[in-house]
Amino acid sequence: MEVKSEIYAIVSKIEVTLGTEVVADDVLMILESMKMEVPVTAPVAGRVASIAVAEGASVQEDDLLLVLDSK
């Protein structure tokens, strides 16, 4: 399952690494927009298959952030 950005922001912190097992609602990364921190959470349980961004990167709405292999 693709996890995409819902806003224009900067990737402030990535909380997971490749292979990390997550459950629904786990925080995957933190985006920063207009001095506000916005957590990106897992929509489903699964394993992090790929991470498409790096800390400090700018993302736009609908940009791919990471991919989860759902359980």
**Residues forming beta bridges with residue 48, ordered by sequence position:** 68
- d(CA 22, CA 17) in angstroms, rounded, equals 11
What are the pLDDT tens digits along the chain (71 aa)? 999 999 999 999 999 999 999 999 999 999 999 999 999 999 999 999 999 999 999 999 999 999 999 86
Report residue 60 as tokens: 């736009």
- d(CA 21, CA 19) in angstroms, rounded, equals 6
| Domains of the chain, start order | 2-70 (2.40.50.100)
Helix (H) or strand (E) holding 10: strand 9-14
**pTM for this entry:** 0.93
Contacts of 15 (CB under 8 A, 6+ apart): 27, 28, 29, 30
